[in-house]
Structure 1
Amino acid sequence: MMRLAVHLLLLFMAVGPAHALQVTDDRGVTVSFAQTPQRIVSLLPSLTESVCAMEQCQRLVGVDRYSNYPASVKALPVLGGGLDPNIEGIVALKPDVVLMAVSSRASSRLESLGLKVVALEPKTHADVRRVLQTLGVLLDVPASQGADRLWRIIDSSVSAAAQSLSPKVKKTRVYFEVNRGPYAAGESSFIGETLTRLGLKNVVPASLGPFPKLNPEFVVRANPDLIMIGNRSMQAMVPYPGWGSIKAVRDQHICVFGVDESDVVVRPGPRMAEAARIMASCLEKYAGGTSP
């Protein structure tokens, strides 16, 4: 009996109990957990994808209406959007943690109801890497299997996409629209940083912020060689006043990404590797003189 007790004790020590942990989110709030969260609600698609990329999809119990990748998450309860979440639905699922964007106004409401919230909102490459590391700690996934592995894939894939491009596309002046407004991806955004690594010139400077809302006249004056539109809206091709004079519009050098590709290129997460390849493909079509 004594030998059995010792064996069980050693087994317990080897496996280890679920341990307490702390993470500091992008609000600067430190959130403590008695053990690694097992029931997770994600209200931001890039966070949903990141959890699954760390092979922890099984912990998700609910997602926002825009989380659609991988396909398995489509079977989960849909809990509204990041800005208009279904509070009652979230509470009913009894999650250990709710992942959401910093910009969501629902965090205080959820916390007042006793739920733990971790707010993460990556906007740059460095942010993406840091958020992956934070999620790795939260999910208790070793960095070598989670954050570090994913970042190596992203980083090497962006470099490979850049190396695959022909010299004639380098320094192409690009305007990338993420949504009607127009809202653009500036140099300092994760999209802008990918464009820079591909060797392109973003016409929206870092001084305007990651995703500024522009006056359409700004783009007319910038006169880009190529326009990329990662806009899921059906209004993606509705012209803005004066855009007929833009070089890219006159030459029909416009890449309008479909819904699935738009989801890839505008989400700062593990599929940024694929996003770089999509943008590189657009560039090669433009460089070859065909309409993307």
Structure 2
Amino acid sequence: MSLKKLHFITISLLTIICVITLIGCSTADAIEPAEPAPPIPAGTATVIQTTPKLPSPPKLPLPPATPSSPEAPSPTLMTISKPIIQTSKESVPIKLPVSNSITIVDSLGQKLSFNTVPKNIATISPSATEILYAAGGTAVIRDRASNYPQEVQTLPDVGSAYNPSIESLINIQPDLVIIEALTQARFIPVLKQTNLKVMAVKAETVDDITENILKIGKIIDKEPTARIEVSNILSRLSLAKTYNSGSVLLLISDHDKNLYAARPESYTGLIATEVGLINKAAGLPDSGPYPGFATMSPETILMANPDFIVTITPAPKPAPRLSEIIKQIPPFARLKAIQSENVIEADVNLFLQAPGPRVIEAVEFLKDRIKR
């Protein structure tokens, strides 16, 4: 073997040894971190301390914070449930409770208590109907003579105010029946036998009218409306008062052509008093078919000799008007009222048949006519 070959073999072996040594060193370097893994417990002490702090975010488990979201829905459910209950109550047509139980004394001295607001109300006289509507109420049935306000003309009726159909009232079963105290008190016993609540109103004076408007306003929970109406009536009456020193007779006739004059105590007499006229029928006794009126003979009328004569004709047109008839009675030609053409034909509803809130219209009408 030549020296060159030996030299080459020697170099090759040295090279291989060096490579093996290098590989061994690199392997040792690679394995060392794996072997120091046991020491890592010491090192992991720091790593473990950081790792426990990583679990502390699990403490944060903000996902579990969603338990608070179950609490948020609960107010929502409660707020939803309340309106549903209220809506269902309002949609059912039931009587609304009055804030407190109400007790009133009517025009006949009856004590009436109300724990609920009466909704279905029957009125069987023009006075009752007009007082109810002035207070802000409405009726479900009326008498035939009730024609104001206009809307009541479409309501079913119980017939005449003097002889209403009790059967019609029983069939409707109203919460309250309002009657006129002076002419309809006789109906109370039979209506009470059918368990109907009956209230009587009257309208002989301004106080009667305003007090009954306020009472009904309280019963039907419309007190502000009733107070406004009363205030309007009183202020207009105050303006209408003329303090005229003239005298008056307010006359009506029956089928037999007898004449009757309204006394100051009657509703018709009240109209003249509010204007400021002196009623020549004062002091005369109540007589004849019309409450509050006195029978007048031609001689009594001639003796009274008023400045103004107001006539009321109950019969509808084309029946002749009383204002024209009295002018044709020969002795009456001497009367001052006829000579000065101060004979005034008045509306039967305003002056006789419907005592009530429209007293102001009657007073204003009379004030206007006596000024001409």
TM range, smaller chain: 0.7 to 0.9
Cα shift at 1:211: 1.5
Cα shift at 1:78: 1.4
TM-score by length of 1: 0.81
The equivalent residue for 1:76 is 155
Q: Distance in 2 between matches of 1:255 and 1:124?
A: 22
TM-score by length of 2: 0.65
The equivalent residue for 1:152 is 231
Q: Distance in 2 between matches of 1:135 and 1:182?
A: 36
Q: Which runs of 5+ in 2 are unaligned?
A: 1-76, 90-94
CA pair 183-132 structure 1, distance change in 2 beyond 3 A? farther
The equivalent residue for 1:186 is 263
Percent identity among equivalent residues? 26
Q: Which runs of 5+ in 1 are unaligned?
A: 286-292
RMSD of aligned C-alpha atoms? 2.8
Q: Distance in 2 between matches of 1:88 and 1:10?
A: 38
CA pair 153-182 structure 1, distance change in 2 beyond 3 A? farther
Cα shift at 1:8: 7.3
Cα shift at 1:96: 0.8
Cα shift at 1:151: 1.9
Q: Distance in 1 between matches of 2:330 and 2:119?
A: 51
| Alignment of structure 1 residues 22-101 onto 2, 5 Å | 22-57=103-138, 60-101=139-180
Q: Distance in 2 between matches of 1:130 and 1:2?
A: 46
Q: Distance in 2 between matches of 1:43 and 1:179?
A: 25
CA pair 178-249 structure 1, distance change in 2 beyond 3 A? same
The equivalent residue for 2:335 is 246
The equivalent residue for 1:290 is none
Q: Distance in 2 between matches of 1:17 and 1:46?
A: 26
CA pair 191-212 structure 1, distance change in 2 beyond 3 A? closer
The equivalent residue for 2:279 is 202
Count of aligned positions = 270
Cα shift at 1:173: 0.8
Conserved 8 A contact 1:158-1:194: no
Residue 274 of structure 1 pairs with residue 361 of structure 2? yes
Conserved 8 A contact 1:82-1:100: no
Q: Distance in 2 between matches of 1:63 and 1:205?
A: 34
Conserved 8 A contact 1:153-1:273: no
Q: Distance in 2 between matches of 1:220 and 1:80?
A: 40
The equivalent residue for 1:175 is 249
Query: Higher RCO, 1 or 2 (CA under 8 Å, sep at least 6)?
Result: 1
